[in-house]
Amino acid sequence: MTTTVTAKGQVTIPKPVRDLLGIAPGSQVDFRRAAAGSVVLVRADEKRPASRFAKLRGHAGKGLSTEAIMTLTRDEA
């Protein structure tokens, strides 16, 4: 993604990057120099966007025992 630097030295962070990092108005960002010489944009505040897998985490709840699941997967029912 390419963006243009304004006369004041400002750039617009592309929306996909803002969404990925969870950057909203008022968020603080930091520019860090990587070992290879490139510059990396990271969130400076401690807020991190929720993982896209966060809503999938958890457990299946009470239900079948391990034995019952193994029986079903082995088609021994």
pLDDT of 7: 96
Long-range contacts of residues 65-68, Cβ cutoff 8 Å, at least 24 apart: none
What is the CATH architecture of 1-48? Ribbon (2.10)
DSSP reduced 3-state for 25 = coil
For the chain, what percent of residues have pLDDT higher than 90? 36
pLDDT in tens, 8-54: 999 999 999 999 888 889 889 999 999 999 999 988 876 666 677 77
User: Within 13 Å and on the Cβ side, how many CA atoms surround 15?
Assistant: 0
> Which whole number is the average pLDDT over 62-77?
80
Pair of tokens at residue 16: 């996909």
Ranges of each domain in the chain: 1-48
pTM as predicted: 0.53
Instruction: Kindly state the tokens that stand for 6.
Output: 């304004």
Task: Note the pLDDT of residue 77.
Answer: 54
Task: Give the separation between CA 18 and CA 41, rounded to whole angstroms.
Answer: 10
Res. 71 pLDDT band, cuts 50 70 90: confident
